[in-house]
Amino acid sequence: MTDIFEQCARRKVRFPFRGQASAEDLWDVPVEDMRVKHGEDRPGLNTLYGRLARKAHARNQFSLIEEAPTDDDTLDLQIAIVKHIIETKQAEAKARKTEADNRAHLQRLLAVKAQRKEGELLTIPMDDLDEMIANLQK
C-alpha cells in the first residue's frame, strides 16, 4: 500500500470542511471543537471524523434490492487521513505534556537539592566557615 498522503495528493482529494480543505489544511485544525466570539462553534477534526464515519456507515447500509457502492474508496482514504492526523496530534500533545511535567519535576528536585545544600552549610562549624571564607577572599 502506498502512503495515504501520496494517494491523497495524486488524486487531489479534498475534505468537506470549511469549504473544501486539503489534507495539508487539516494539520492547522484543532482536534476538538472550539468556541469563538459570539458563542459560535468552530468544528474540529473530531467533528469532521464523525461526519465522514457517518457517511461511510450510511454507504455501507444497503438493501437486498440495491447494490452496495464498491468503487468509492475516497471516503475510506479521507477517514484514514483524518484519523492519522488526530492520532499524531494527540501523541504530540501527550509528548509535550510529559516533557512539561518532567521539566517541572526537575525544577522541584533541584530546589530540594539546593535546600539540602543550604542545610549542610548550616551544620559546618564556625571555625571551618571562617577558614573557607578566608581562603575565598585571597
pTM: 0.73
- 12 pLDDT above the threshold of 70: yes
Mean pLDDT of 53-72: 71
Secondary structure (3-state) at 12: coil
Separation between Cα atoms, residue 42 and residue 112, nearest integer Å: 45
The answer on pLDDT for 1 being more than 50 is no
pLDDT of residue 106 exceeding 90: yes
CA distance 136 to 128: 12
Give the model's confidence band at 64: pLDDT under 50 very low, under 70 low, under 90 confident, else very high. Answer: low
Residue range 107-130, pLDDT digits in tens: 999 999 999 988 888 888 999 989
Percentage of residues in the chain having pLDDT higher than 70: 88
Report the distance separating Cα 22 and Cα 12, nearest Å. 8
Q: Is the pLDDT of residue 60 over 80?
A: no
* Mean confidence (pLDDT) of the chain: 88
Residue spans of the domains in the chain: they are 4-137
